[in-house]
Amino acid sequence: MIYKCTKQIRDGSRCFQSYSLVCGSHDSTYDAVCDVFAETSQPQTEVSCPGKCGLITASYSYQGFFDVDFALGTCSEGADGCLDEAQLAAQEPELEQQIKALEAGGLTVNDVNACTCSGDLCNSALNIATNPVVVFFSMMVVILQAFFLN
């Protein structure tokens, strides 16, 4: 999915907001889970953001045979740029704790990124939003735990 935001207007930005959990390669045993992920996805909608646009992405595997990609287009704040998992964990200790909890339950976190940007169509080429990462990562943790860890 590509997430876009339009030219910054006065005190904010026009951004696309969306959410998806997408199954990668997986055993047919998990088709029902992938169907639920598809049903819970939120299509792109244009929103007015008070600050900047952002995109959060993460990828996971479950015991090595089930892959999940998470993406969230959202409003964001902070400096323009991208942070990887280590940089995010340094800023937000909760993130590291959540990753450890997932991995203790059999999920492997392959990649987490967050990007914030300003300007015309700025997040169409980004990997991921800095400030809301922990909130949305928490939401994703709850969803994944409901399917895989309980």
CB 53 within 8 A of CB 123: yes
pTM of the model: 0.71
| Other CB atoms within 10 A of residue 46 CB | 11
Name the pLDDT band for 30 (thresholds 50, 70, 90): confident
| pLDDT, tens only, 122-146 | 655 443 444 444 444 555 555 555 5
Pairing of strands 52-62, 5-9: unpaired
Angle between helices 133-148 and 31-40 (to 10 degrees): 150
| pLDDT, tens only, 97-113 | 888 888 888 888 888 88
> In Å, how far are 36, 47, 76, 85, 144 from 60, measured between CA atoms?
17, 28, 23, 13, 10
Q: Is the pLDDT of residue 9 over 50?
A: no
What's the number of domains the chain is made of? 1
Residue-number span of the structural domain to which 59 is assigned: 5-148
For 65-89, what is the mean pLDDT?
85
CB 72 within 8 A of CB 55: yes
